[in-house]
């Protein structure tokens, strides 16, 4: 296989600086919030293993086991949670990364410029590990009940925050050093991707390398900024609260603002493959659809080749003939293996074909879309993946039981925000005085003290850091961080805990 790619190409506008496009310039040991008293470890293999350990032992990762993938409040442990989905994405991301390295070697494409074989292997291992851990982290910021939980936070913010800010800090009585409208826009655009960046940097303070954080910074614009491009800034990638951290990451990795880190494309492709398979697999397991429904749907899709359709039908027939004890599982295993076997080499090939744009971070489409567009030989398999996604939207997510649970989740999250809203209305001078706060606002005081101490500390640190650096105080910014404090608590809940907290605070139980 010969790939048309120029691995010696220069970054746009960087010829005079002599920056060559090799990955060791992107894979760094520098850490976010590196303590100056810490001894910096320049050995990439130790640094990357440290990232893995910090991520795998993070409490936010463990909470994913009780957070919705498709079925909210699911008691059947065989049905995917956010954690089991992320583990599958991790495996697929590893597969794609290894295939990219293999094809690069086969085609004499130099990704790492070093003559030391040990160092070369360390960078190859780091390339794979960064992708794996980005895949594991990719859903870490998603709130309870998935996109409906996210929508509840967005709707509540849009319906309440303008009034709260105006009543608490009237424009005419306050001089703001930060654009109030910008802060409000940021809060109204809550997104799980941006919350993920906030979790690993500001809340959990995992002290990951810049390269690791950049590897799961899926979208490139702030929640306070307008969308400019079709794909890579379709959604907010970070909040104003993490703006300085993200700018440091871009600067350290010599990446232009609003460009993607190249490994993000691999993580995104792995997720696109996995969720398409997982949605169908879980729906079959729950009895929401049957294999025959899926096959009938494919039969009506013009873009699905008859050859592929017959191949899939044979797998279904084979499972029946063999009297497999779980025909659905057998069918899905065969489908999963076929899809990955066909798609992953194509995705790896087009990663290298589009190397220049991907390395620079300005390819404004998903890697799967780029692969499908230019893959004549395997296009039919990309069509199958797209049809699986459409089938899920049309015949799985419209299921009455799923819709009912999603509406319940929306109600729970919205109601919790209403319950904690009074905390945002406490005057700042009272909020900062524990004695006054306790006596004058007993209800709000008790609500505030339900919030985890680590989130309270994050709020105080952010407020104090701004005050110390700027030598001035901004009431709008304080209310912004206080609102973030509430969002952090509620978005960090598991599905079960959100339900329990809602029942407890409303007196249902």
**486-503 pLDDT tens trace:** 999 999 999 999 999 999
Whether the Cβ atoms of residue 407 and residue 392 lie closer than 8 Å to each other: no
The answer to whether residue 342 scores a pLDDT higher than 80 is: yes
Strand partners, 20: 10
Percent of the chain with pLDDT strictly greater than 90: 75
pLDDT band at 3 (very low <50, low <70, confident <90, very high): low
Mean pLDDT along residues 368-379: 85
More reliable by pLDDT, 41 or 352: 352
- Euclidean distance between CA atoms 107 and 4, whole angstroms: 10
The answer to whether residue 334 scores a pLDDT higher than 60 is: yes
51 a catalytic residue: no
pLDDT at position 327 is: 87
pLDDT at position 322 is: 80
The answer to whether residue 242 scores a pLDDT higher than 50 is: yes
446 a catalytic residue: yes
Contacts of 400 (CB under 8 A, 6+ apart): none
**434-492 pLDDT tens trace:** 999 999 999 999 999 999 999 999 999 988 877 766 656 688 999 999 999 999 999 99
**246-265 pLDDT tens trace:** 999 999 998 898 999 999 99
147 a catalytic residue: no
Which two structure tokens, joined as six digits, stand for 72?
């909210």
85 a catalytic residue: yes
Indicate which residue of 51, 139, 315, 383 is catalytic: 139
Indicate which residue of 85, 198, 259, 482 is catalytic: 85
The answer to whether residue 212 scores a pLDDT higher than 50 is: yes
pLDDT at position 470 is: 60
pLDDT band at 19 (very low <50, low <70, confident <90, very high): very low
pLDDT at position 77 is: 79
Mean pLDDT along residues 77-84: 89
Where is average pLDDT lowest: 36-40, 246-250, 354-358? Answer: 36-40
Can you give the pTM of this predicted structure?
A: 0.92
SS3 assignment, position 494? coil
Tell me the domain boundaries of the chain: 272-386
Indicate which residue of 51, 191, 233, 271 is catalytic: 271
pLDDT at position 176 is: 59
DSSP 333-379: HHHHHHHHHHHHHHHHHHHHHTHHHHHHT---S-HHHHHHHH-TTTH
pLDDT band at 98 (very low <50, low <70, confident <90, very high): very high
271 a catalytic residue: yes
Where is average pLDDT lowest: 229-238, 354-363, 422-431, 468-477? Answer: 468-477
Mind spelling out the 3-state secondary structure of 401-418? HHHHHHHHHHHHHHHHHH
The answer to whether residue 143 scores a pLDDT higher than 50 is: yes
More reliable by pLDDT, 348 or 24: 348
Indicate which residue of 31, 138, 260, 350 is catalytic: 138
Backbone dihedral angles phi then psi of residue 237, each to the nearest 5 degrees: -105, -20
- Euclidean distance between CA atoms 163 and 169, whole angstroms: 10
**259-304 pLDDT tens trace:** 999 999 999 999 999 999 999 999 999 999 999 999 999 999 998 9
């Amino acid at each position: 296989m010969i790939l048309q790619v120029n691995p010696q190409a220069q970054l746009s506008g960087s010829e005079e600086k002599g920056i060559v496009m090799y990955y060791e310039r992107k894979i760094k040991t520098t850490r976010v919030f590196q303590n100056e008293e810490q001894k910096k470890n320049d050995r990439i293999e130790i640094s990357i293993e440290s990232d893995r350990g910090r991520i795998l032992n993070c409490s936010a990762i463990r909470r994913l086991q009780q957070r919705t993938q498709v079925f909210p409040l699911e008691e059947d442990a065989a049905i995917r949670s956010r954690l089991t989905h992320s583990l599958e994405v991790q495996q697929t991301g590893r597969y794609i990364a290894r295939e990219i390295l293999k094809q690069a070697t086969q085609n004499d494409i130099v990704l790492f410029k070093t003559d030391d074989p040990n160092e070369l292997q360390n960078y190859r291992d780091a390339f794979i590990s960064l992708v794996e851990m980005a895949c594991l982290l990719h859903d870490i910021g998603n709130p309870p009940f998935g996109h409906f939980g996210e929508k509840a936070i967005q709707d509540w913010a849009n319906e309440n925050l303008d009034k709260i800010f105006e009543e608490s800090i009237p424009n005419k009585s306050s001089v703001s050093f930060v654009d109030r409208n910008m802060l409000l826009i940021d809060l109204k655009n809550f997104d799980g991707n941006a919350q993920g960046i906030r979790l690993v940097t500001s809340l959990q303070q995992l002290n990951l390398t810049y390269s690791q954080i950049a590897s799961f910074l899926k979208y490139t614009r702030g929640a306070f900024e307008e969308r400019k491009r079709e794909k890579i800034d379709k959604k907010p990638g970070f909040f104003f609260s993490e703006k300085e951290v993200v700018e440091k990451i871009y600067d350290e990795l010599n990446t232009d603002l609003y460009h993607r880190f190249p490994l993000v494309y691999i993580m995104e492709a792995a997720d696109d493959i996995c969720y398409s398979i997982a949605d169908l697999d879980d729906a079959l397991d729950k009895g929401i659809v049957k294999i025959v429904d899926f096959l009938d749907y494919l039969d009506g899709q013009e873009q699905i080749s008859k050859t592929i359709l017959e191949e899939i039908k044979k797998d279904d027939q084979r499972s029946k003939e063999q009297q497999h004890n779980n025909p659905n599982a057998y069918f899905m295993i065969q489908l999963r293996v076929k899809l990955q076997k066909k798609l992953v080499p194509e995705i790896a090939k087009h990663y290298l074909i589009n190397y220049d744009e991907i390395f620079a971070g300005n390819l404004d489409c998903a890697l799967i879309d780029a692969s499908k567009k230019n893959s004549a030989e395997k296009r039919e398999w990309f069509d199958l993946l797209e049809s699986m996604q459409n089938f899920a939207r049309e015949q799985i997510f419209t299921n009455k039981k799923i819709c009912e649970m999603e509406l319940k989740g929306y109600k729970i999250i919205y109601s919790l925000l209403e319950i904690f809203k009074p905390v945002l209305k406490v005057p700042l001078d009272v909020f900062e005085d524990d004695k006054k706060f306790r006596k004058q606002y007993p209800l709000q005081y008790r609500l505030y003290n339900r919030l985890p101490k680590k989130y309270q500390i994050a709020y105080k640190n952010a407020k104090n850091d701004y005050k110390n650096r700027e030598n001035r105080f901004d009431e709008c910014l304080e209310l912004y961080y206080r609102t973030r404090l509430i969002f952090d608590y509620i978005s960090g809940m598991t599905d079960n805990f959100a339900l329990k907290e809602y029942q407890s605070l409303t007196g249902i139980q």
